[in-house]
Amino acid sequence: MRRAQLTVYVVEDDASVRDSLALMLGLGGYRTALFPDAESFLSAYRDDWTGCVVADLRLPGKSGIELQAELRARKSALPFVIITAHADVPTVRAAFHADAVDFLEKPFDHAHLRAAIERAFSREGHRLQRAADNAKLAALTARERDVLEHAAMGLHAKEIAAKLGISPRTVEVHKTRIMEKLGVRNIGELVRFAIAAQPREER
Amino acid sequence: MTTAISPVRYVRDAAVFAPCYIALDWASYIDPVGPFNITPWNPQPALAIVWMLLGGLQHTPIVLATIFVADMLVRGAPGGYFVTLLTTVILGGGYAVIAWMLRELLGNAGLRSSRELTVFCAVVVGGTTLVGGAFIGVLRGAAQLDESSVPAAWLRFWIGDAVGILVTAPLLLAAADRERRAGLLVLARRPETALQMVVLLATMWLIFQGLGGDPRDHFYLLFLPLIWIAVRGGMNGAIGATALVQLGVVAGLRSDAVPAFPVVEIQALVAGLTLTGLYLGVMVDERERAAESLRESLRLAAAGEMAGAIAHEVNQPLTALSNYGQSALALLGAPGGARPQLAAIIEKMLQEASRAAEVVRRLRELFRTGTTRLERVSAEELAASVRRIAQELIGPRAITLHLRHAGDLPALYVDRLQVELALRNLIANAVEALSAQPVADAAVEVRLLREGDDRMRIVLGDNGPGLGSATRARLFEPFVSGKPTGMGLGLAVSRAIAEAHGGSLEARPGPRAEFHLILPCAEPS
């Protein structure tokens, strides 16, 4: 995964805090995009945005938590880090129930913010990887899928051929096609891919 | 339960106690039944009980010896030494048991609550009844009293001891208690106290001399100055006044100015007067303490709410400062050419620092002097604040905000933070009322209206269940809350803020809950 794809979307109504966050994150090597409130973020939002949102809890209009709920309703999985200048237990609970990566109280330690963003990015990285894998798997034919499943169980070409009632040579052809489609170079990677893909197919 | 004290102190205390007890016994040996110490006024048991209560039961032997000696010296041991010995054991033992019970039930017997006072009275009245019964029983058994005089003698003994202890013990306890002593001294220095004493003494003179006739007929007059004193001076005043009344009554008796006093009945009246005074005094004290703790918590709660609002204000510049500082550090580490950028960052840091300092300064001013930092807040800014606060408070609930304002509203001249706090309290009330009892089309309505030339009227209403007239009357009292979790301070704080601005906050009668907040506007510039 390339870091450059990932952006920190800052939603903060206080101009000084927004400006200083952008400067600090920019110097820290993050790409940032700034919004003064939830509405302007939502009107600009596109489905292919990746990275994480750092949102203030108290915003004019929709709060940070409401913004998160709105994005989840739009099937966006963008991870959220909520920041606030005045926290109480119910709002912290609400933030975590809404699946925030972290909840930071202002003034926060920059290392904590960094750690939270990194956690969010790694969550985002896994999500993107999974999405890419699933897209590749979707390109397989039904027969290729059968072959992949059996290969994942560690069966050899002859055993797979016997099980599926086709010739070993055809199995080998399928394997080659599968490796091409999934972009893997050897049987070891193929097995890893299959094992990694399986549990997610069950979902 | 005894307190260990040195032998020297033990002997010294005994040397003070014994003469005092004997002197009191002598002074109060009036109107007896036969030659015995059955008199309608007996303050010396109070001395013995308070001594054993405060000093511990190890003083009991001294008390017993003193009672024996006093009976010999004052009355010449009229029933013979054996009877005196028996009565001494009954009296001394009885007082020791009373002292022990008070100590167990009340600890230091500070008589600071009506419960403590009730326990004290019950133990004293019950204890003296039993001691009196045993005392009279011994005399009857020794054939010193005839059958027919037993009930009257018992009554006289009981009244004498009970009144003596009820009047004298609180005074002695107060004298032994540092805090009470200081309170009595403060009271004694008040000019009002001298006037009260004069009125009390004059009333007593009227009852016993001035009006003539039976003193019982006009005894009730004494309740008037006593109530005055107890209401103004609390328990300390009541203790002093009842002691003075008792001394006045006794002085009247001893002077033989008026012959044939119905002494026992007058002492019964004194007992009633004493109980009234002490209960009134202790309730005045309790009320005063409750009011003080209420004022204290009001101050704390107002400070707490204000601090919450201001924490938000002060944390914003601190966050920016911290971010800029971190950025400056990162730039310093970067190779070359960062100087102009660094200067810009440091400039911003200075701005943020003064922004934080400004909030803190305003906070300090508010708490130190109650002064506020007034600034122009335009009607549009106010409307934006209302909208922001309402949206924040309403959250995901299905409540709409109707915000309307007249076109040509002047700017307010107020402390923005404080006014926002007051608005927040009022809007929170409306939202909670609507959430507690869901209604169709739930809405919070806020109207901004011109009020005369130099004021703005902000009307906040909701279409919830509304306010009953009883609720409305008590609305602004601290700690009266309609909410199950409320502290009931929000409205009191909001009104305080409105009044600090020279404005007002009131609840309007009507089917809907409606609050009218009036605030001053800026000078027309």
pLDDT tens per residue across span A120-146: 999 988 888 888 888 888 888 888 888
Q: In the prediction, which pLDDT does B283 show? A: 92
Q: Is pLDDT of A201 > 50? A: no
Q: In the prediction, which pLDDT does B256 show? A: 59
Q: Up-side HSE of residue B484: CA atoms within 13 Å toward CB?
A: 2
pLDDT tens, B329-378? 888 877 766 778 888 899 999 989 988 887 777 666 555 555 567 888 88
Closest by Cα among B96, B264, B109 to B176: B109
Q: Is pLDDT of B272 > 50? A: yes
Q: Spell out which residues of chain B touch residue A109, defining contact as CB-CB under 8 Å.
A: 322
Number of H helices, E strands in chain A: 9, 5
pLDDT tens, B103-114? 888 876 678 888
- Residue B47 in contact with residue B172, Cβ under 8 Å? yes
Q: Do A108 and B322 touch (CB under 8 A)?
A: yes
| pLDDT grade for B468, boundaries at 50, 70 and 90 | low
pLDDT tens, B70-125? 888 888 877 788 888 888 899 899 999 999 998 888 876 678 888 889 999 999 99
Q: Is pLDDT of B149 > 90? A: no
Q: In the prediction, which pLDDT does B367 show? A: 57
Q: In the prediction, which pLDDT does A4 show? A: 61
- Mean pLDDT, range B162-180, rounded to an integer: 86
Q: Is pLDDT of B470 > 60? A: no
DSSP three-state, residue B287: helix
CA B397-B401-B402 angle, to 5 degrees, is 155
Q: Is pLDDT of A54 > 90? A: yes
Give the gap in angstroms from C-alpha A19 to the nearest C-alpha of chain B. Answer: 8
Q: Is pLDDT of B219 > 50? A: yes
Highest mean pLDDT among A28-42, A124-138, B282-296: A28-42
Q: In the prediction, which pLDDT does B472 show? A: 53
CA A82 from centroid of its chain's CA atoms = 18
Q: Is pLDDT of A181 > 90? A: no
Amino acid at B48: A
Q: In the prediction, which pLDDT does B30 show? A: 74
Q: Is pLDDT of B321 > 90? A: yes
Q: In the prediction, which pLDDT does B124 show? A: 92
Residue A130, both tokens: 């999974």
Q: At what angle do helices B150-176 and B114-141 cross, to 10 degrees?
A: 140
Looking at every residue in chain A, the average pLDDT score rounds to 84
Q: Is pLDDT of A18 > 90? A: yes
Q: In the prediction, which pLDDT does B487 show? A: 36
* Cβ-based neighbours of B463, under 8 Å, separated by 6 or more: B434, B439, B441, B442, B443, B445, B512
CB neighbourhood size of B466 (10 A): 16
Q: Is pLDDT of A37 > 50? A: yes
According to DSSP, the β-strands at B504-508 and B412-414 are unpaired
Name the residue with higher pLDDT: B270 or B3. Answer: B270
Residue B299, both tokens: 């101050």
Mutate to test the interface with A, among B313, B314, B318, B322 (most CBs of A within 10 A): B322
Q: Spell out which residues of chain A touch residue B326, defining contact as CB-CB under 8 Å.
A: 24, 110
Number of H helices, E strands in chain B: 15, 7
Q: First vs last Cα of chain A: how many Å apart? A: 24
Give the gap in angstroms from C-alpha B330 to the nearest C-alpha of chain A. Answer: 7
Q: In the prediction, which pLDDT does B121 show? A: 92
**Does residue A107 have a cis bond before it (omega within 30 degrees)?**
yes
- Residue A20 in contact with residue A44, Cβ under 8 Å? no
DSSP-derived letter for residue B396 is T
Question: What are phi and psi for residue B152, nearest 5 degrees?
Answer: -65, -40
- Residue B400 in contact with residue B444, Cβ under 8 Å? yes
Question: pLDDT above 70 covers what percent of chain A?
Answer: 93
CB neighbourhood size of B70 (10 A): 24
- What order of strands is seen across the sheet that includes strand B443-451? B400-405, B443-451, B455-462, B513-520, B504-508
DSSP three-state, residue B60: helix
CB neighbourhood size of B141 (10 A): 11
Of B312, B324, B391, the CB nearest to A86: B312
Q: In the prediction, which pLDDT does B74 show? A: 83
Closest by Cα among A74, A89, A67 to A11: A67
- Mean pLDDT, range A167-177, rounded to an integer: 87
Q: In the prediction, which pLDDT does B396 show? A: 79
Distance CA A16, CA B169 (A): 70
Spell out which chain A residues touch chain B, with contact meaning CB-CB distance below 8 angstroms. 14, 16-17, 19-21, 23-24, 27-28, 58, 60-63, 66, 69, 83, 85-86, 105-110
Q: Is pLDDT of A24 > 90? A: yes
Residue A59, both tokens: 């915003």
pLDDT tens, B58-70? 888 888 989 888 8
- Mean pLDDT, range A177-197, rounded to an integer: 78
Nearest CA in chain A to B348: A16
Distance CA B59, CA A170 (A): 113
Q: In the prediction, which pLDDT does B488 show? A: 44
Q: In the prediction, which pLDDT does A183 show? A: 81
Phi-psi group of B273: left, alpha or beta (phi > 0 → left; psi -120 to 50 → alpha; rest → beta): alpha
Q: Spell out which residues of chain A touch residue B318, defining contact as CB-CB under 8 Å.
A: 106-107
Given the structure tokens 């033992």, which residue do they identify? Answer: B93
pLDDT tens, B244-266? 888 888 877 666 555 556 777 88
Residue B176, both tokens: 């032994």
Among A30-44, A179-193, B147-161, B269-283, the range scoring the smallest mean pLDDT is A179-193
- Mean pLDDT, range B228-244, rounded to an integer: 90
Give the gap in angstroms from C-alpha B350 to the nearest C-alpha of chain A. Answer: 12
Looking at the complex, does the CB of residue B319 fall below 8 Å from at least one CB of chain A? Answer: yes
Of B323, B331, B352, the CB nearest to A110: B323
Phi-psi group of A53: left, alpha or beta (phi > 0 → left; psi -120 to 50 → alpha; rest → beta): beta
Q: What is the DSSP string of B210-241?
A: IT-S-GGGGGGGGHHHHHHHHHHHHHHHHHHH
Q: In the prediction, which pLDDT does A109 show? A: 87
According to DSSP, the β-strands at B513-520 and B504-508 are antiparallel
| pLDDT grade for A178, boundaries at 50, 70 and 90 | confident
Given the structure tokens 């995009």, which residue do they identify? Answer: A33
Looking at every residue in chain B, the average pLDDT score rounds to 81
Q: Is pLDDT of B513 > 80? A: no
- Mean pLDDT, range B413-423, rounded to an integer: 84
CA B442-B448-B451 angle, to 5 degrees, is 140
Q: Spell out which residues of chain B touch residue A112, defining contact as CB-CB under 8 Å.
A: none
Q: Do A17 and B395 touch (CB under 8 A)?
A: no
Name the residue with higher pLDDT: B470 or B417. Answer: B417
Q: At what angle do helices B7-27 and B44-55 cross, to 10 degrees?
A: 160
Q: At what angle do helices B81-106 and B60-75 cross, to 10 degrees?
A: 140
Q: In the prediction, which pLDDT does B484 show? A: 35
Is ipTM strictly over 0.90?
Answer: no
Q: Do A86 and B323 touch (CB under 8 A)?
A: no
Q: In the prediction, which pLDDT does A25 show? A: 93
